[in-house]
Structure 1
Amino acid sequence: MDTKNHLSRHFLGTQPSVLRSIPFAPAGPTDDDGTALKHSLLALADWNQDSEQHRLSIADLQVRQKDGSAEGATVQELASWVSDGSIKSMEVGDLGNGELVIVAGSSRGHLNRLRLTSPLAPGSDPSEIQLRGDGDMEGAQLLPWMSLHHGRVAALDICAETREVVSAGEDGALFVVPLESTSALQPLVEARASASCRAVRWASQQTFVSAGTTGGLEVWDKRRPGRPQLRSPLSWGLSGSPALDAANGLERQINCIAAHPSRPHLCATGASAGTVAIWDLRFTAQPTVHVSPKPGSGEVWEVHFDGYEIFGSALGGSDPSVLFCTSGGVLGSVPSSPGESKENASVAEQLQPSSVLYEEPCSGIRSFDVDATSGQDLFCTTDQECLVYLSRGARL
């Protein structure tokens, strides 16, 4: 059983391109009115029009909770750092015992790194967060940690278990970088003149999956540089649906990837024609393809597996739903269990239904994330410089 949901919109005054939830201590004890204060921390990559600067900032969404449900929320910026270029890819890694790392990729091919120590005790205040290394939480220039790519860092991902970052560039190069490394590295895959990377995700501690302009998915083993371990069949098209490729043309591309939290052979992708596909990375069956139920909802920009099922009995079920956002303002959900896809089927026969969790009026949803602490809340940013907060209620 769920208590009531909560939805609020907050004007940021900046144009965010990426949002990521930062793990933080749970709420402390309630006051005399039975209200507790929860701090939901968010990393934001944005463009500040007033100062004409690209930035990485940390915001505190202060949520007042009663009986486990949100009663209201306000947002406050805690710190910001100026980036040497725009940031289109960013991830937060929870390394354990309060140790966090934020890695952001810039349009100039750099990786930037912030290392934080966060308090663990319930009721802790964000002012207790400490920035490790040079600099402080008052804000400064975000200095490049690694210079890897010729052109934009298209995507990156952090493997907390091995403390490594995989970085994919528009130049087609792939790097695996230890988080503590300070020296120049050789690419796992050299820059390729005929191919550009668009998305990348760790599938296990040894393997990761990527997508690019050549279409389909490639699975790589970090111990075997140079060539992919597996590649999806060309007959499956650029994004898993040959019928859709035929109907919409070769401009269809995979924009984003999410890896299943407990089944390393499964992943989800979002594509330019507004579809979400569920893939078995052993490539023994054609992926199941879902389409947004709202006509004209645009490209799928991000996908995430949902660790919090509203009507479930526990977190972390074996097959959490896949959440997605689109350039047309839809935040939706599809089941993650692979279905049956018929070869040579029509477009209508191949597509599976999806559901809408939230629709942003007259604006696209640029980026979203699931609460990194409990999975209960959703956060997304819009083209109208707003943060949308959706709390799905507490289970009783």
Structure 2
Amino acid sequence: MGDTQYMKFVSQKISKVRFRPSRSTLQKSDIFVSGSWENRKNSIDVWLAAEIPKKEDDDFDVEILKSLHRLKVPASVGDITFVDSDNILAGLENGDVYLLSYNAVNESLIVQQKWDGVHHVLGSGSPCTGIDTNMADAVTVGEDGSINVLRMGHNAPIRRIDTSESCPISGVTFNKQNEVCTVNRMGQLKIFDLRSSSNDPIRIVVTSDDLTPLEAIARHPTRPHLLATGGGDGCVTLFDTRKEVAPISKLQIHDMEVWEVAFHPSSPDSLFTCSEDGAVRRLDLTREIHKLSEAPNASISPVDVVELLKSGGAAVNSLSISGTTLACGTDSESLFVIENIL
């Protein structure tokens, strides 16, 4: 487990947590935002995470998580991503997408732009489930099965891709400047070329014959062709987009759904996962990635797994990493901060 943990009860189920990126890669961020879900009133909150003191220190009762600001939103939060250190995109379960600016002086969130009903079915809002950004453009996906390209300053999506089977899409990441990868509830990873006038993907990869849902996707920071996904069967699956057919590895890591996966930004061979089973785990993929680079057809050896948060509690829905600190949000209406994760 992580050397030091702190838990704060926040009276809301938490769907997403995201650390604010530092202006310098050498700096560790101490600000993160959280989004709530399935509450009578939902919000996006800004938190200051202080360093957790050692148990022998006299100030161990210091407030580790301090609430800085709360922005009320009209629906559950489906996803949050930072465009940069000052701007945030948030997708809601009513289909709306917000562009928020973070004011570091008064530590507040301000709505800069709103796209109404980006995701919809027969005129009614449908949950936005994933967002990723690439310079001035952002891509959103949702349970309506659509992919939407948003450009800051434009009042409507500049591109909408309606997938043929309208299967709910659960996650998205840019693979290249003009390519996005999505995962869906039919266990498919699809790659779309945003420059193409066609709505068809340029590639489809299926993880298994039983169509187990894929719930999350993450791109390796230094090897963009390497993707990790989290599945409804508790498995983490690794993909090499240079390969045409099957995933390169499927690893049973959790007992229940894997809700998020994230590579460490500066130690990218470490992959972090959180699950419906209540656990947060770190996977060391160093040997596996090296084998794929040196000998793509080599067999995959068992990975080293470190448990940062024990299973058995309420679902851990989301995690985010800054330096050696991890923050995660749960259905037990609590936030966790875990230090010394590497």
For each residue in 1:327-348, what CA deviation from the matched residue of structure 2 results, as whole angstroms up to 9, or x when unmatched? Answer: 10111122444467999xxxxx
Q: Cα offset for 1:303?
A: 0.2
The answer (yes or no) to whether the contact 1:105–1:155 under 8 Å persists in 2 is: yes
Name 2:257's counterpart in structure 1. 299
Match of 1:323 in 2: 272
Q: 1:287 aligns with which of 233, 248, 251?
A: 248
Q: Deviations over 1:29-48 (max 9, x none)?
A: xxxxxxxxx97212111148
Task: Please state whether the residue corresponding to 1:42 is helix, strand or coil.
Answer: strand
SS in 1 for 2:78: strand
Q: Distance in 2 between matches of 1:286 and 1:48?
A: 34
Matching of residue 148 in structure 1 with residue 123 in structure 2: no
The alpha-carbon deviation at position 184 of structure 1 amounts to 1.9
- Partner residue, 2:229: 269
Match of 1:217 among 189, 210, 221: 189
Aligned positions, number: 320
CA contact (8 A) 2:4 2:52 kept: no
Q: Which residue of 1 aligns with 2:335?
A: 387
- What is the CA–CA distance in structure 2 between the aligned matches of 1:46 and 1:88, rounded to whole Å? 9
Matches within 5 A, 1:1-396: 5-24=3-22, 40-47=30-37, 52-63=40-51, 74-94=64-84, 99-118=85-104, 127-129=105-107, 144-150=114-120, 151-159=126-134, 162-181=135-154, 183-190=155-162, 192=164, 194-225=166-197, 226-232=199-205, 237=206, 240=207, 242=208, 245=209, 249-250=210-211, 252-284=212-244, 286-292=247-253, 297-307=255-265, 316-317=266-267, 319-336=268-285, 337-338=288-289, 352-355=302-305, 356-371=307-322, 375-392=323-340
Query: What is the CA-CA distance between 1:272 and the residue it aligns to?
Result: 0.2
How far apart are 1:25 and its partner, in Å?
7.4
Residue of structure 2 equivalent to 1:138: none
**Identity percentage over the alignment?**
22
> Partner of 1:30 in structure 2?
none
CA separation of 1:62/1:333 partners in 2, compared to 1, >3 Å: closer, same or farther? Answer: closer
SS of equivalent to 2:161: coil
AA of the residue aligned to 1:6: T
Q: Does the aligned pair in 2 maintain the 1:291–1:354 contact within 8 Å?
A: no
**Distance between the aligned counterparts of 2:273 and 2:9, measured in 1?**
22
- Helix, strand or coil for the counterpart of 1:283? coil
Say what the alpha-carbon RMSD is for the aligned residues.
3.2
SS in 2 for 1:201: strand
Instruction: Give the deviation of 1:193 after TM superposition.
Output: 5.1
8 A Cα contact 1:93 1:102, kept in partner: yes
**Equivalent pair of 1:219/1:228 in contact (CA under 8 Å):** yes
- Residue equivalent to 2:123: none
Q: Distance in 1 between matches of 2:160 and 2:179?
A: 12
Q: Summarize deviations over 1:270-317 as a string: whole Å, max 9, x none.
A: 00000001110122463211112x6xx31100000013xxxxxxxx35
Q: In structure 1, what is the Cα distance between the partners aligned to 2:320 and 2:328? A: 7
Q: Give unpaired runs (5+ residues) of structure 1.
A: 27-37, 119-126, 135-142, 308-315, 344-348
C-alpha contact 2:146 2:166 (8 A) present in aligned 1: no
Structure 1 residue 188, shift from structure 2 partner: 3.6
Q: TM-score, normalised by structure 1?
A: 0.72
> Following TM superposition, by how much is the alpha carbon of 1:354 offset from its aligned partner in structure 2, in angstroms?
4.9
Deviation, 1:116, is 2.4
Q: Distance in 1 between matches of 2:38 and 2:192?
A: 37
Taking the aligned partners of 1:152 and 1:16, their CA distance within structure 2 comes to 16
C-alpha distance after superposition, 1:103-150 (max 9, x if no partner) = 1111111101102254xxxxxxxx45465666xxxxxxxx73343111
Bigger mean CA offset, 13-22 vs 268-277: 13-22
